[in-house]
Amino acid sequence: MDDYRESHKSIDKPGEYDQKFWTPGTPEYLFWQIEQQILEDAFDSRSSVPKMSLDFACGTGRVLSWVAPKVEKCIGVDVSTAMLSVARERCPSAEIIEADITRNSAVAAGPFDFVTSFRFFLNAQRELQHEALDAIRQRIAEDGTLVVNFHLNPFSPTGVYHAIGSRLVGSPRPVASTRKARRLIEAHGFEVTKVRGYAYLFYRRVTLRFPGLATRAENALARWNLVPWLASHFVVIARPC
Ligand SMILES: C[S@@+](CC[C@H](N)C(=O)[O-])C[C@H]1O[C@@H](n2cnc3c(N)ncnc32)[C@H](O)[C@@H]1O
State pLDDT tens for residues 6-62.
999 999 999 999 999 999 999 999 999 999 999 999 999 999 999 999 999 999 999
User: What Rg value do the Cα atoms of the chain yield, rounded?
Assistant: 17
The CA 187 to ligand 1 mean position distance, Å, reads 21
Residue 13 Cα: closest atom of ligand 1:
27
In the chain, the amino acid numbered 169 is: V
pLDDT digits (tens, 9 = 90+) for 172-185: 788 999 999 999 99
Nearest of 24, 8, 166 to residue 80 by alpha carbon: 8
Q: Which pLDDT score, from 0 to 100, does residue 42 have?
A: 98
In the chain, the amino acid numbered 83 is: M
Nearest of 232, 138, 145 to residue 191 by alpha carbon: 145
Give the mutation target among 6, 65, 80 for probing the ligand 1 site: most ligand atoms within 8 A of CB: 80
Residue nearest to atom 8 of ligand 1 (CA): 118
The CA 213 to ligand 1 mean position distance, Å, reads 32
Is any ligand 1 atom within 6 A of the Cβ of residue 59?
yes
pLDDT band at 170 (very low <50, low <70, confident <90, very high): confident
Superfamily, domain 4-240: Vaccinia Virus protein VP39 (3.40.50.150)
Q: Which pLDDT score, from 0 to 100, does residue 1 have?
A: 52
Is any ligand 1 atom within 6 A of the Cβ of residue 196?
no
Is any ligand 1 atom within 6 A of the Cβ of residue 100?
yes
In the chain, the amino acid numbered 178 is: T
**Domain parsing of the chain, residue ranges:** 4-240
Residue nearest to atom 24 of ligand 1 (CA): 8
Is any ligand 1 atom within 6 A of the Cβ of residue 119?
yes
Distance CA 217, CA 105 (A): 43
Let me know: does 186 contact 179? Beta carbons within 8 Å.
Answer: no
Give the mutation target among 36, 84, 120, 130 for probing the ligand 1 site: most ligand atoms within 8 A of CB: 120
Omega of the bond leading into 228 within 30 degrees of 0 (cis): no
pLDDT at 221 > cutoff 80: yes
pLDDT at 207 > cutoff 90: no
Distance CA 148, CA 40 (A): 14
3-state helix, strand, coil in the chain (%, to 5): 45, 20, 35
CA dihedral 227, 67, 175, 45 (to 10 degrees): -30
pLDDT digits (tens, 9 = 90+) for 88-112: 999 999 999 999 999 999 999 989 9
Residue 149 Cα: closest atom of ligand 1:
8
pLDDT band at 128 (very low <50, low <70, confident <90, very high): very high
Least confident of 115-129, 130-144, 147-161: 147-161
First to last CA, the chain: 32
pTM given for the model: 0.96
